[in-house]
Amino acid sequence: MKKMRTALIVAVILSAITMTASYRKKPLCEMCEGLIEKVDEVLEKGGDIEEAVDEFCREDVPSFLVEYCEKIISKNLKEIIEKLKDHESPEKICTDIYLCSA
């Protein structure tokens, strides 16, 4: 009976750990969603999108991701803008450009 209780407790703990890990977002996904939100904000208010996203990469992204952030912009900015105009969510856009998992 004691072994059964111990096994049950271990199973519950492992399930909780697995669920918690799956809900945490990866750094690239978080960065992408922040970037999309920034672009959306600039589209709504008006302004220089390229300047705003460059500033986002320099100031709001961890230093080890700055270069990657800039590459994402140069490769995907037009697609991001079009998807935002079609009212797609940051989560969907980042999944579509392979930075977040579905």
Query: What's the half-sphere exposure (Cβ side, CA atoms, 13 Å) at 12?
Result: 6
Which carries the bigger pLDDT value, residue 21 or residue 6?
6
Question: Cα angle vertex 20, ends 14, 24, to 5°?
Answer: 145
Mean pLDDT, residues 55-78 taken together: 92
CATH number of 26-96: 1.10.225.10
For the chain, the domains span 26-96
- Output the 3-class SS for 17-43: HHHHHHHCCCHHHHHHHHHHHHHHHHH
Q: How many Cβ atoms are within 10 Å of 62's Cβ, its own excluded?
A: 10
pLDDT in tens, 26-47: 889 999 999 999 999 999 999 9
Burial class (CB in 10 A: 0-12, 13-18, 19+), 85: exposed
- pTM to 2 decimal places: 0.72
72 pLDDT above the threshold of 70: yes
Q: Hey, what are 66's tokens?
A: 């700055």
Q: Where do runs of H (alpha helix) occur along the chain?
A: 2-23, 27-45, 49-59, 66-85, 90-96
